[in-house]
Amino acid sequence: MKHRLFTALLLLCAGVCVPALAQQDPQFSQYMFNALYFNPAYAGVEGRTKFQLIHRSQWTAYQATFDDGTAPITQNFSLNSPVLRLRSGVGLHIVNDRLGPLNNVEAQASYAYHFPVNKGKLSLGIRGGMYSQTIDFEKYRAINENDPNLADRNGRESQVRPDLALGIFYRAEKFYGGVSVNHIVRSEFDFGLDELKNPLSNHIYVTAGYDYDLTYQVVLTPSVLLKSDFNSYSVEVSTLATYEQKFWGGLSFRQGESLSALIGASLMKDNSLRIGYAFDYIIKAQPVKRPTSNEILLSYTLPPPVPSTKSVTRTPRFRY
């Protein structure tokens, strides 16, 4: 009977997982603004403290053929800040990723050390934290209603495991690029059944982008994100145009999945408040999903830190 429950779990998870790549991490259309999630070495690289929140509704309005078969929903909160005295940076991100009856939550802290290289900054980063999985067994439909493996599965069960990531990131005036490897420890989740053993796969992310001054007022930024679990891969490419450092818009393509339109604006006098929106149109396997996905980004950046200097104490004793 165990293999029947295992088969049911696989089928239900397959209905909500990303089709373009058999990976466990959530995807973000505005990946170019979410570098800390993919690479711990990004922490503090920009030299300013930033808070950011992303909400993604994938396959909006999707409904399965059974109850509680809702579409994937992901929230990601992050902050990162430089530590100037130590030539380094720190970061934190919290992700809530709901995939029908499966819910993943991670809380990770990042540290990066920065090296000046030519006119840019090279950063080496490490990240550690916890990764939690929760299964609501009441949302599964067993092939055999008398399956003994479901006899004691009347609600939600959770397991928490450690997680680790390493990365390298380079930032210059016009160019950025980075490579990271996530889930290095390959933590396993089994919920008491050998057949349900599900280790976190190693994921490698490669990112790059370049700012090209198209005119005095318009900057064109092509970027790319390569994702792989060392068995399969997926590529996302995008181009954004930014006008007077205030407004941006562009297109993005996710291999084997969707085409996206991105828009956004920087608000307030110092551009510290930013809001962005991504609209995805599904171009593959649309009949088993819904045709659109939506993603909203909101971030706030603190003013740049002022380097501390030794105060000068004056005394009239030595004045003439």
% residues pLDDT > 70 (the chain): 78
Number of domains in the chain: 1
Is 31 within the bounds of a domain? yes
What's the pLDDT at 315? 55
What's the pLDDT at 231? 87
What's the pLDDT at 143? 72
Is 238 within the bounds of a domain? yes
Is 311 within the bounds of a domain? no
What's the per-residue H, E or C state across the chain? CHHHHHHHHHHHHHCCCCCCCCCCCCCCCCHHHCHHHHCHHHCCCCCCCEEEEEEEECCCCCECCCCCCECCEEEEEEEEEEEHHHCEEEEEEEEEEEECCEEEEEEEEEEEEEEEECCEEEEEEEEEEEEEEEEEHHHCCCCCCCCHHHCCCCCEEEEEEEEEEEEEEEECCCEEEEEEEECCCCCEECCCCHHHCEECCCEEEEEEEECEECCCCEEEEEEEEEEECCCCEEEEEEEEEEECCCEEEEEEEECCCEEEEEEEEEECCCCCEEEEEEEEEECCCHHHCCCEEEEEEEEEECCCCCCCCCCCCCCHHHCC
What confidence tens digit (pLDDT) does each residue in 107-135 have? 999 999 999 998 899 999 999 999 999 88
> Domain of 281?
2-304
Is 89 within the bounds of a domain? yes
**C-alpha to C-alpha distances, 136 to 94, 103, 129, 254, nearest whole angstrom:** 21, 8, 23, 30
CATH number of the domain where residue 93 is located = 2.40.160.40
Q: What is the mean pLDDT of the chain?
A: 84
User: Among the listed ranges 143-152, 240-249, 252-261, which one has the minimum average pLDDT value?
Assistant: 143-152
Average pLDDT over residues 178-199: 85
Is 319 within the bounds of a domain? no
**What is the model's pTM?**
0.83
What confidence tens digit (pLDDT) does each residue in 94-104 have? 999 998 788 99
Residue 177 has pLDDT above 90, yes or no: yes
Is 86 within the bounds of a domain? yes
User: How would residue 188 be classed by pLDDT, with cut points 50, 70 and 90?
Assistant: confident
% residues pLDDT > 90 (the chain): 59
Q: What are phi and psi of 44, to 5 degrees?
A: 80, 0
Is 312 within the bounds of a domain? no
Q: Which residue has the higher pLDDT, 13 or 168?
A: 168
What confidence tens digit (pLDDT) does each residue in 29-79 have? 999 999 999 999 999 999 999 999 999 998 876 666 555 557 889 999 999
Q: Distance between CA 38 and CA 299 in Å, rounded?
A: 17
Average pLDDT over residues 222-244: 94
Average pLDDT over residues 15-25: 49
Q: Which residue has the higher pLDDT, 137 or 64?
A: 137
**C-alpha to C-alpha distances, 285 to 19, 110, 235, 279, 294, nearest whole angstrom:** 8, 37, 18, 17, 18
Average pLDDT over residues 219-225: 97
Residue 25 has pLDDT above 50, yes or no: yes
Is 310 within the bounds of a domain? no
User: How would residue 150 be classed by pLDDT, with cut points 50, 70 and 90?
Assistant: low
276 token code pair: 């962005």
